[in-house]
A and B are shown apart, each in its own frame.
Chain A
């Protein structure tokens, strides 16, 4: 229980920092809004197209806003070596990792909720809100996958002199299965396509379990000095 206790403490610390205006969440939301506007210019999002384009647009927005947010939070840990006080505290690397995964997950979910709302308003597509209960498993599993890989990789990139700029290059190829799963399952549900989303939910679940296990094993090598 002590293990989860330290993880929760880290989660609380991140929420407090966010409330005190570390601005990573507001930046994410701002980017989401901006991307949605850009997509409106880039694609023909008329009434008849929006349903088939929705899952693609949304997951691209989730992906990029997510990269921005996760890159920032780990950069904040590296600045002034704030994370070292956690490394030297009795909390283990594993609970530190879980805490960071949870806080990233929380911020990602908040960003996604707002993005869905923006989308429903800007693209005149209320259906996406009413279908949220069906979409939820896919969204949550996908977001968890983002957070699991993103937390690990954003700490990797902080050591590089390229910093956060490097994050998308490492992160995007690895989360391809999640993006594929997220886009496809959402598309199947929104457009009532044949095939069923179940298979995709399975792939994302396998991905999450795999990366949870491996990241737990590897995270200690990233933060130990």
Chain B
């Protein structure tokens, strides 16, 4: 099985990259002057967000491919990546909250970026609610593909609208823009590591979805 091998390779890659990433984040990256050590959440938070974005993009593309090719393998890919994306989006919201408390002195702020992730989170929860309620396998795939597409194209509109909405209200102090070169490099490595993690989790879930499919088919066969 090709997927099995890719999963193993990625797993061993992560076994090396993850500890190295943590080492870089906690030991090599300099402490931010104003925010202090809490700023190190940033490396995790941003990487998770990029991973979620990659996963939802994959859902979008797979959904289109499903409607086009009508092959259930694309539905498995769409739902597997939506699940990975949802997991990451949840973690983004939690880590964002844990960052906001010490820095902005609030657990939650109606920052356009946070708001966009929260709304996305709702959309993909809806995606799974819809899937849970439809018994027919093909219909489930078809209908959730529509949500996978509609939800994704909403992202830029939500982003733009929330940004404009915020610009009317008083802005909370933003984090300082400048990252020093070491920080940038650590950030880059962290991003790469989490993108590998995203692909790994996706493939892991995808393999499960495929094997579930096979079980259902065999079950039907034995019942007949």
State in angstroms the CA–CA spacing of A163 and B135 once bound together: 13
Which chain A residues (162-198) contact chain B, with CB distance < 8 Å? 162, 166, 169-170, 172-174, 176-177, 180-181, 184, 195
17 contacts between A and B (CB under 8 A): A161-B135, A162-B133, A166-B126, A166-B129, A166-B130, A170-B123, A170-B126, A173-B119, A176-B161, A180-B162, A195-B168, A203-B160, A207-B157, A210-B157, A214-B149, A218-B146, A221-B142
Contacts of A13 in B (CB 8 A): none
SS of B interface (majority): helix
Q: Does A84 interact with chain B (Cβ within 8 Å)?
A: no
Between A and B, how many residue pairs show CB distances below 8 Å? 88
Contacts of A172 in B (CB 8 A): 122
Taking a contact as CB atoms under 8 Å apart, the answer to whether A206 and B129 are in contact is: no
State in angstroms the CA–CA spacing of A111 and B72 once bound together: 42
Determine the residue in chain A with the shortest Cβ distance to B160: A203
Q: Does A78 interact with chain B (Cβ within 8 Å)?
A: no
Contacts of B158 in A (CB 8 A): 176-177
State in angstroms the CA–CA spacing of A222 and B149 once bound together: 13
User: Given that A173-B122, A173-B123 are known contacts, is A218 also in contact with B149, CB under 8 Å in the complex?
Assistant: yes
Q: Please give the number of chain A residues whose Cβ is less than 8 angstroms from any Cβ of chain B in the complex.
A: 32
Q: Does B32 interact with chain A (Cβ within 8 Å)?
A: no
Q: Does A159 interact with chain B (Cβ within 8 Å)?
A: yes
Contacts of A151 in B (CB 8 A): none
| Interface residues, chain B, with chain A CB atoms under 8 Å away | 67, 119-120, 122-123, 125-126, 129-130, 133-136, 139, 142-143, 145-147, 149-151, 153-154, 157-158, 160-162, 164-165, 168
Contacts of A200 in B (CB 8 A): 164
Determine the residue in chain B with the shortest Cβ distance to A195: B168
Known: A161-B135, A172-B122, A173-B154. 19 other contacts (CB 8 A): A159-B143, A160-B134, A166-B130, A170-B129, A173-B120, A173-B122, A173-B123, A174-B154, A177-B158, A177-B161, A181-B161, A200-B164, A203-B160, A207-B157, A210-B157, A211-B150, A214-B150, A214-B153, A218-B149
Determine the residue in chain A with the shortest Cβ distance to B167: A195
Contact with B along A46-66 (1 / 0, CB 8 A): 000000000000000000000
Taking a contact as CB atoms under 8 Å apart, the answer to whether B157 and A170 are in contact is: no
Taking a contact as CB atoms under 8 Å apart, the answer to whether B146 and A160 are in contact is: no
